[in-house]
Structure 1
Amino acid sequence: MGNSHSSKQTHAQQQRTLIRQRSAPAFSRISLGCTSGNDSVLSSDPSRESFSLVNEKVAWRDREKLLLDRGDQPARHHLTPSPQIHYSLAYAPITEFPQGDTSPAYHDFIRAYPEYQLTWILDTLRRTDYSRLERTGETYVDYMGGALYPESLIRVHTTFLNQHILGNTHSVSNSSQLSASCAAEAREAVLAFFRAPPEYTVVFTANATAALKLIGEAYPFANGSSYVLGADSHNSVHGIREYASNRGARICYIPSTQTGGFDAPTAKHILLRNRPRSRDAAPCLFAMTGQSNISNAKNPLSTLEYAQSLGYHTLLDAAALAPTSVFSLAETPVDAMAVSFYKMFGFPTGVGALVVKKTFLEKLQRPWFAGGNVDVVQVPGTIVTRSHELYERFEDGTINYLTLPAVVDGLRFLSAYLPFLPLRLSSLLHYLTSRLSQLRHDTTGTPVVRILSRLPVRRPKSVGEQADCGSIVSLIFLTPSGDMLPNSFIEYAASKESVSLRTGCMCNPGGAAAILDIEDDMKQLYPGVTLKDFEHVVGRELGVVRISMGLASNFQDVEKVLQFASSVGTEKTRQVLWTRWTEASGTSVGQAL
Structure 2
Amino acid sequence: MGAALYPERLIRVHTELLARSLMGNTHSINNSSQLSSNMVEQARKAVLEFFDAPPGYVVVFTSNASAALKLVGESFPFTSSSSYVLSADSHNSVHGIRQYAADKGSRVAYIPATQEGGFYLCKAKRLIHRNRPLFRNRHPSLFALTAQSNISAWKSPLSLLTYATQFGYHTLLDAAALVPTTSFSLTDHPVDAMAVSFYKMFGYPTGVGALVAKKSFLEKLERPWFAGGNVEVVQVPGMVVTRASRVEERFEDGTVNYLVLPAITEGLRLLSSYIPYLPIRLSALLHALVENLQKITYPNGAPVLQLLSHLPQRRVRVVGEEADTGFMISFLYLLPSGDPISLRFIDFLAQQHKISLRTGCMCNPGGAAALLSLQHSMAQLYPTVRLHDFERVVGRELGVVRVSLGLASSYEDVWEIVRFSRRLVNREWREWWWKKWLDEEITVGGDGVTLKAPATSAESGRKEEGGLLRKWASMWTVRTRT
Report the TM-score when normalising by structure 1.
0.75
Aligned match of 1:451 in 307, 316, 337?
A: 307
Match of 2:167 in 1: 310
Please list every run of 5 or more consecutive structure 1 residues that lacks an aligned counterpart in the other structure. 1-141
Match of 1:502 in 2: 358
Post-superposition offset of 1:252: 0.3
Post-superposition offset of 1:530: 0.5
Would you say 1:471 and 2:327 are equivalent positions? Answer: yes
Match of 2:120 in 1: 263
Aligned match of 2:383 in 527, 550, 553?
A: 527
Match of 1:405 in 2: 262
Post-superposition offset of 1:458: 2.4
Q: Is the 8 A contact 1:304 1:334 kept in 2?
A: yes
User: Which string of whole-angstrom CA distances, capped at 9 and with x for unpartnered residues, describes residues 460-507 of structure 1?
Assistant: 112221101101110001111111100010111111111111000000
Match of 2:75 in 1: 218
Match of 1:559 in 2: 415
CA gap 1:587/1:222 in 2 versus in 1, 3 angstroms: farther
Which segment is superposed worse, 327-336 or 274-283?
A: 274-283
Q: CA–CA distance in 1 between the matches of 2:274 and 2:137?
A: 46
Match of 1:591 in 2: 472
Post-superposition offset of 1:416: 0.3
Aligned match of 1:489 in 345, 352, 371?
A: 345
| 1:556 aligned counterpart, secondary structure | helix
Post-superposition offset of 1:445: 2.5
User: Which string of whole-angstrom CA distances, capped at 9 and with x for unpartnered residues, describes residues 115-163 of structure 1?
Assistant: xxxxxxxxxxxxxxxxxxxxxxxxxxx2x2x110100100000000000
Q: Which amino acid aligns with 2:436?
A: R
Q: CA–CA distance in 1 between the matches of 2:428 and 2:301?
A: 15
Match of 1:462 in 2: 318
Aligned match of 1:323 in 150, 161, 180?
A: 180
Q: Which amino acid aligns with 1:449?
A: L
Taking the TM superposition and a 5 Å limit, the aligned residue runs for 1:222-301 are 222-301=79-158
Aligned match of 1:515 in 371, 375, 380?
A: 371
| 2:26 aligned counterpart, secondary structure | coil
Taking the TM superposition and a 5 Å limit, the aligned residue runs for 1:348-367 are 348-367=205-224
Match of 1:394 in 2: 251
Q: Is the 8 A contact 1:374 1:386 kept in 2?
A: yes
Q: CA–CA distance in 2 between the matches of 1:254 and 1:483?
A: 30
Would you say 1:184 and 2:41 are equivalent positions? Answer: yes
Q: CA–CA distance in 2 between the matches of 1:223 and 1:286?
A: 16
Match of 1:168 in 2: 25
| 1:503 aligned counterpart, secondary structure | strand
Q: Which amino acid aligns with 1:385?
A: T
Match of 1:432 in 2: 289
Q: Which amino acid aligns with 1:578?
A: W
Q: CA–CA distance in 1 between the matches of 2:232 and 2:186?
A: 31
User: Which string of whole-angstrom CA distances, capped at 9 and with x for unpartnered residues, describes residues 309-367 of structure 1?
Assistant: 11100000000001000000000000000000000000000000000000000000000
Q: What is the number of residues matched between the two proteins?
A: 449
Match of 1:333 in 2: 190
Would you say 1:203 and 2:57 are equivalent positions? Answer: no
Would you say 1:343 and 2:200 are equivalent positions? Answer: yes
Q: CA–CA distance in 1 between the matches of 2:405 and 2:23?
A: 35
Q: Is the 8 A contact 1:441 1:571 kept in 2?
A: no
Q: Is the 8 A contact 1:503 1:544 kept in 2?
A: yes
Q: CA–CA distance in 1 between the matches of 2:403 and 2:131?
A: 37
Q: CA–CA distance in 1 between the matches of 2:432 and 2:258?
A: 50
| 1:484 aligned counterpart, secondary structure | coil
Q: Which amino acid aligns with 1:403?
A: V
| 2:275 aligned counterpart, secondary structure | helix
Q: CA–CA distance in 2 between the matches of 1:556 and 1:347?
A: 23
Report the TM-score when normalising by structure 2.
0.92
Match of 1:110 in 2: none
Match of 2:276 in 1: 419
Aligned match of 2:393 in 528, 531, 537?
A: 537
Q: Which amino acid aligns with 1:512?
A: A
Post-superposition offset of 1:587: 3.8
Match of 1:134 in 2: none
User: Which string of whole-angstrom CA distances, capped at 9 and with x for unpartnered residues, describes residues 55-95 of structure 1?
Assistant: xxxxxxxxxxxxxxxxxxxxxxxxxxxxxxxxxxxxxxxxx
Q: Which amino acid aligns with 1:150?
A: P
| 2:279 aligned counterpart, secondary structure | helix
RMSD: 1.0
